[in-house]
């Protein structure tokens, strides 16, 4: 059974959740769930680097890494997306190590970097919920609420929560539906 994507408007921004491979999306920017080295990895990081080609890694090498909770922008190279916004989510250590706040910081910084670079259409994967082990339901709530509450959100016309599977889609869909 496939779950229909969902879309609703917050202010002047459309928030939607879809099930897709983020490397296929032709948007102004896609977000990468990277590590602090910014030198590639597995998961969505590996997929983005594989599709973007070696020039992405070459540009990442010039950025001097990225702290957990921060975000940095590069070109998209061979990706259909024009830009990649790399962010580093927290590793889940049980919830007592500031993980929630660090994950929220990722989403805040991603929207701030998008707004600051004229990005109007943006897709974000479920940061930290794969290799970094963050509980998917808890992460979806943080993701949707942090984006919806962002004071610069109006600068971005559409934010797509790009889910890699039905469970993640169902979670993000539920959080979008539950927005006030
Ligand atoms: N498109 C969209 N989402 C994807 C894709 C894809 N092509 N591939 C994986 N995902 C999803 C995963 O299913 C998960 O829901 O992205 C989410 C984040 O998972 P990871 O990619 O494992 O990222 P994360 O949990 O943040 O761990 C980051 O993994 O790849 C390394 O270098 C990376 O060290 C860093 C760590």
Expressed in angstroms, the distance from the first to the final Cα of the chain is 28
Do residues 87 and 66 lie in contact, with contact meaning Cβ atoms separated by under 8 Å? yes
pLDDT value, residue 3: 65
pLDDT value, residue 1: 55
pLDDT value, residue 156: 98
Alpha carbons 151 and 148: distance in angstroms, whole number:
9
Alpha carbons 114 and 103: distance in angstroms, whole number:
17
The rounded Å distance from CA 152 to ligand 1 centre is 26
Which of 17, 33, 93 most suits a substitution to test ligand 1, by most atoms within 8 Å of the C-beta? 33
pLDDT value, residue 142: 98
**44-62 pLDDT, tens per residue?**
999 999 999 999 999 999 9
pLDDT value, residue 6: 79
Q: Given the CA of residue 46, which atom of ligand 1 is nearest to it?
A: 30
The rounded Å distance from CA 127 to ligand 1 centre is 7
Residue segments in the chain with a per-residue pLDDT below the cut of 70: 1-4
pTM reported for the whole predicted model = 0.98
Three-state DSSP at 26 gives coil
Q: What is the DSSP string of 32-45?
A: EEE-TT-S--SHHH
Residue with CA nearest ligand 1 atom 12: 130
Ligand 1 residue neighbourhood (C-beta within 6 Å): 21-23, 33-35, 41-47, 89, 125-132, 162, 164, 168
Closest C-alpha to 160, from 38, 35, 169: 169
């Amino acid at each position: 059974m496939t779950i229909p994507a969902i879309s609703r408007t917050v202010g002047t921004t459309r928030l939607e959740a879809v099930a897709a491979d983020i490397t296929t999306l032709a948007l102004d920017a896609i977000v990468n769930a990277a590590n602090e080295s910014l030198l590639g990895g597995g998961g969505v990081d590996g997929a983005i680097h594989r599709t973007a080609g070696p020039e992405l890694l070459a540009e990442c090498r010039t950025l001097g890494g990225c702290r957990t909770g921060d975000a940095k922008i590069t070109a998209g190279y061979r990706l259909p997306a024009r830009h990649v916004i790399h962010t580093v989510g927290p590793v889940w250590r049980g919830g007592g190590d500031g993980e929630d706040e660090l994950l929220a910081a990722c989403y805040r910084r991603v929207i701030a970097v998008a707004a600051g670079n004229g990005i109007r259409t943006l897709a974000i994967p479920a940061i930290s919920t794969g290799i970094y082990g963050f509980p998917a339901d808890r992460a979806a709530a943080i993701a949707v609420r942090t984006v919806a509450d962002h004071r610069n959100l109006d600068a971005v016309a559409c934010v797509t929560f790009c889910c890699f599977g039905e469970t993640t889609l169902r979670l993000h869909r539920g959080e979008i539906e539950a927005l006030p």
